[in-house]
Each structure stands twice: as structure tokens, then as C-alpha cells.
């Protein structure tokens, strides 16, 4: 389960310690020493998770969490707050502004990695390397294979990511702009029509296995992957 993680922490020793442990666990890590810098980085890069120190120079981690939750682009990014403040009211304040979890300093590497894994599994299941299924469609993220009724489906990398996202978020409807955000991220260089083109290629690839109807067009809203007809 390799994720891209942004650490926002002003103490170099703690920043290093967290970085080493996360990289050892297979994650890619970038660091910022304050919220302003992190906010700048988020303009053209979207991590899978933020580890955010509460006590930062300038904007605090708590205020930054509130800011990220108020902006459409970062509203859903998973956030774990790190803090030496272990009062119950501080934890509640952190969770109330929208943090997914709260880790009290000092923490062990094991606790940090365990909590990161829990949040990643819960919030972004497509990052986990487990095999996912929808009926007779089986997608294996680590092998990068898709089987449809037992026959192998060959997909381009964008169609693969699109299918992986939809299959891990079944029965939910996503607009084209939401799909752009989740599947393409900041690398997107196209328009809504681009999404339609890739959806169409994905349906064509699933057609021989009789599964193209899995991807439903929800008029005026977007697309969804669902098993029920």
C-alpha cells in the first residue's frame, strides 16, 4: 500500500524521523515546514494523505485543516493531525474541524504507520494493493491485471486507473470533474470530453466479456459503476 504523503512539520528532527519511517514502509514523501508552503505545494500536487503538525509557525495545523476543508480541491484529502497537546478537548477540536485522526506526540513509528494504514484503507481504498471485484470482473492492482468472466482485459493505463477508482467506489455517482480530480489529479490536460472518451474506451474493453453495462451514465450527473441493472 504505497501512498504519496505530505508531512507538514517545522521540527527537522521529527520531520526526518517521520520521513524515514514512511519511506521505509514504501510511501513517497514530501515535506513542508509550514502551512503556507504546504498550501503552495497543494496547488499542483494532491497527496493521498497529509500528516499535519498542530503547532506550526504562522497558520496552525488546526487552522490549516479548517482551510483545506473549506476549499473544493482539498475538501476530501485525508488529514492526520500530530500534536503534543493531549487534552481531550484538543483532540475533539481537531476532529471537529475535519481531521481524520489525531496522533499525540511522542508517538512510536509503529503507531504512526498503523494509523496511516487505517486512514488510507478507509479513505482511499484504491491505494491499497488488494484485489477488488465487481461480480465477474476482477481487478488486481499489484499485477495491473483485469479479468472479465475469466478472460483477460487489456486496458490503457488511464482506463485502468479509471476502472480501479470506480470499482473501489461502487454505486456512487461521480461527476466528470470529480473523476478528473481523483483519476488524473493535477496532471490533467483536457476537458470533460476527455473523461467521456476514456469511459467509452473502458466500456469497449469490457464489451467482449459482457460487462460494459457496469459503467452507467447518470444523466446530468456523471458516471457510476454498479452491478444492479
Cis status, amide bond into 106, omega within 30 of 0 = yes
Which residue, 10 or 76, has its beta carbon nearer to Ca ion?
Answer: 10
Q: How far is the CB of 68 from Ca ion (least distance, A)?
A: 18
- Asked if 63 interacts with Ca ion (CB under 5 A), we say no
* Residue with the CB atom nearest Ca ion in the bound state: 55
Q: Least CB distance from residue 9 to Ca ion, whole Å? A: 6
Q: Which is nearer to Ca ion, 55 or 113 (CB)?
A: 55
Comparing CB distances to Ca ion, the nearer of 105 and 201 is 105
Q: Which is nearer to Ca ion, 37 or 55 (CB)?
A: 55
Q: What is the dihedral of CA 184, 190, 192, 197, to 10 degrees?
A: -80
Nearest C-alpha neighbor of 173 from the set 212, 126, 123, 223: 223
Is 31:62 a contact under the CB 8 Å cutoff? no
State how far the Cα of 66 lies from the Cα of 86, in Å rounded to an integer: 20
Closest CA to 196 of 220, 217, 212: 217
Judge contact between 182 and 124, C-beta under 8 A.
Answer: no
* Residue 10 binds Ca ion, judged by CB under 5 A: yes
Site string for Ca ion, 16-55 (x = CB under 5 A): -------------------------------------x-x
Residues found near Ca ion in the complex (CB under 5 A): 10, 53, 55
Amino acid at each position: 500500500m504505497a501512498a504519496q504523503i505530505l508531512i507538514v512539520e517545522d521540527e527537522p528532527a521529527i520531520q526526518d524521523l517521520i520521513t524515514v519511517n514512511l519511506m521505509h514502509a514504501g510511501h513517497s514523501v514530501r515535506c513542508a515546514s509550514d502551512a503556507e508552503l504546504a498550501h503552495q505545494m497543494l496547488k499542483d500536487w494532491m497527496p493521498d494523505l497529509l500528516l499535519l503538525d498542530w503547532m506550526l509557525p504562522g497558520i496552525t495545523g488546526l487552522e490549516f485543516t479548517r482551510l483545506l476543508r473549506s476549499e473544493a480541491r482539498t475538501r476530501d484529502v485525508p488529514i492526520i493531525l500530530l500534536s503534543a497537546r493531549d487534552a481531550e478537548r484538543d483532540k475533539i477540536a481537531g476532529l471537529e474541524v475535519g481531521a481524520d485522526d489525531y496522533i499525540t506526540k511522542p508517538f512510536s513509528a509503529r503507531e504512526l504507520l498503523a494509523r496511516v494504514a487505517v486512514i488510507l484503507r478507509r479513505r482511499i481504498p484504491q491505494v491499497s494493493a488488494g484485489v477488488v471485484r465487481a461480480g465477474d470482473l476482477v481487478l488486481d492492482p499489484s499485477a495491473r491485471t483485469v479479468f472479465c468472466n475469466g478472460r483477460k482485459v487489456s486496458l490503457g493505463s488511464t482506463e485502468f486507473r479509471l476502472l480501479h477508482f470506480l470499482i473501489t467506489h461502487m454505486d456512487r455517482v461521480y461527476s466528470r470533474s470529480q473523476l478528473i480530480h481523483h483519476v488524473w489529479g493535477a496532471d490533467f490536460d483536457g476537458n470533460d470530453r476527455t473523461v467521456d472518451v476514456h469511459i467509452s474506451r473502458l466500456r469497449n474493453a469490457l464489451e467482449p466479456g459482457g460487462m460494459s453495462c457496469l459503467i452507467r451514465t447518470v444523466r446530468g450527473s456523471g458516471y457510476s459503476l454498479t452491478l444492479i441493472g
